[in-house]
């Protein structure tokens, strides 16, 4: 058995699109059709959280990948033997990180 596809399908799609009432600009009483709404420019509204993440991303892009002064301080402290490793703090952070894993 075979089905034929003809030009009536395209017309049916347009008729269905004209009937939609859930699209912006095509709510009852608006007086606009979906074709008029689609010809206008599209808008994107970001949530507050998305806007915060976008701002954070831009701030991070401006900052250097690492703090060269801090690296030099650690190198100096390590080479002179002044840097002390806090094993308990490292263990606590490892355990905290492990508890967040699935």
pLDDT at 48 over 90: no
Question: CB within 8 A of 36, min separation 6: which ones?
Answer: 25
- Cα–Cα dist 16/26, whole Å: 13
Question: 25, 33 in Cβ contact below 8 A?
Answer: no
Answer yes or no: do 56 and 33 share one domain: no
| CA-based nearest residue to 24, from 13, 16, 32 | 32
Answer yes or no: do 65 and 84 share one domain: yes
Answer yes or no: do 73 and 53 share one domain: yes
User: Domain span at residue 34?
Assistant: 8-39
Please indicate, yes or no, if residue 1 is contained in any of the structural domains: no
Tell me how many domains the chain contains: 2
Question: 19, 8 in Cβ contact below 8 A?
Answer: no
Token representation of residue 86: 């806090």
pLDDT at 28 over 70: no
What's residue 77's pLDDT? 94
Query: Under DSSP, is residue 34 helix (H, G, I), strand (E, B) or coil?
Result: helix
Answer yes or no: do 30 and 53 share one domain: no
What's residue 39's pLDDT? 56
What's residue 7's pLDDT? 47
Token representation of residue 19: 């009937």
pTM: 0.30
Widest Cα–Cα separation across the chain: 85
């Amino acid at each position: 058995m075979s089905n034929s596809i003809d030009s009536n399908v395209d017309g049916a799609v347009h008729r269905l699109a004209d009937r939609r009432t859930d699209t912006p600009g095509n709510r009852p009483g608006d007086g606009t059709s979906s074709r008029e709404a689609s010809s206008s420019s599209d808008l994107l509204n970001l949530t507050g959280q998305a806007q915060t993440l976008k701002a954070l991303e831009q701030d991070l892009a401006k900052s250097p990948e690492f703090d060269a002064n801090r690296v030099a301080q650690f190198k100096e402290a390590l080479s002179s033997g002044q840097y002390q490793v806090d094993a308990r703090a490292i263990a606590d952070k490892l355990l905290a990180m492990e508890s967040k894993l699935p």
